[in-house]
């Protein structure tokens, strides 16, 4: 790579974005999501997904980021954002130890060179820092994400046939994964 985005995936810093910076960088966040859908990623959207729809999706995440219910981590390639991962903290009183991982995305020009693995590791570390010791996610069975999660020690619970449509309109199975980050899950003391 040359030019302003010459940073290699191994050099791309990963950091959290607060809601204000995420709002200021909606176009870049949208670019990553549109690129993922255009390259066939099954991330809740269908072929033809637009930048306006991408900005609207990310704009919808801002209140959760601002309120602390979500954390957005990004790969910042210097001149632009090149990867994302969202942590969704469970809000239920009986699940203060749990979070879900979503929108684990890497710009196509940065894929297959370790950035996804680094984003996932950063999400796991951020979850643990927030006291979340059990992570959940689902992904299309057989996808690049499926391979990544297995290689990173995530445990496949099983597959759900016809879980959702792929970007090009085919029904596909999803695999549900979990990863325990802490030694044990303790039930919080019941209030009396």
CATH number at residue 35: 3.40.630.30
Q: Does residue 104 sit within a domain?
A: yes
Q: Which pLDDT value is given to residue 105?
A: 97
Q: Does residue 100 sit within a domain?
A: yes
The partner residues of 164 in beta bridges, in order of sequence, read 172
Q: Does residue 178 sit within a domain?
A: no
Number of domains in the chain: 1
Q: Which pLDDT value is given to residue 9?
A: 66
In order along its 192 residues, the chain shows pLDDT tens digits of 443 455 666 689 999 999 999 999 999 999 999 999 999 888 999 999 999 999 999 999 999 999 999 999 999 988 899 999 999 999 999 999 999 999 999 999 999 889 999 999 999 999 999 999 999 999 999 999 999 999 999 999 999 999 999 988 999 999 999 999 975 544 454 333
Q: Which domain covers residue 42, as residue numbers? A: 11-132
Q: Which pLDDT value is given to residue 189?
A: 43
Q: Does residue 46 sit within a domain?
A: yes
Q: Does residue 16 sit within a domain?
A: yes
Q: Does residue 141 sit within a domain?
A: no
DSSP-assigned states of every residue in 71-128: EEEEEE-SSSEEEEEEEEE--STT-TTEEEEEEEEE-GGGTTSSHHHHHHHHHHHHHH
Which of these, 27, 25, 5, 8, lies nearest to 16 by C-alpha position? 25
Q: Does residue 164 sit within a domain?
A: no
Q: Which pTM value belongs to this model? A: 0.89
């Amino acid at each position: 790579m040359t030019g302003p985005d010459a940073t290699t995936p191994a050099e791309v810093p990963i950091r959290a974005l607060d809601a204000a910076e995420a709002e200021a960088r909606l176009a870049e966040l949208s670019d990553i999501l549109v690129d993922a859908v255009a390259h066939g990623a099954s991330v809740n959207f269908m072929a033809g997904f637009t930048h306006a729809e991408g900005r609207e999706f990310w704009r919808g995440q801002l209140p959760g980021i601002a309120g602390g219910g979500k954390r957005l981590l990004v790969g910042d390639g210097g001149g632009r954002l090149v990867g994302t991962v969202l942590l969704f903290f469970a809000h239920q009183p009986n699940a203060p130890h749990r979070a879900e991982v979503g929108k684990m995305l890497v710009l196509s020009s940065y894929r297959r060179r370790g950035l996804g693995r680094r984003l996932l590791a950063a999400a796991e570390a951020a979850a643990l820092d927030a006291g979340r010791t059990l992570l959940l996610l689902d992904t299309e069975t057989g996808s690049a994400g499926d391979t990544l999660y297995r290689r990173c020690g995530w445990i496949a619970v099983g597959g759900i046939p016809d879980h959702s449509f792929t970007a090009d309109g085919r029904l596909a199975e999803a695999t549900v994964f979990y990863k325990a980050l802490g030694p044990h899950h303790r039930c919080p003391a019941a209030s009396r």
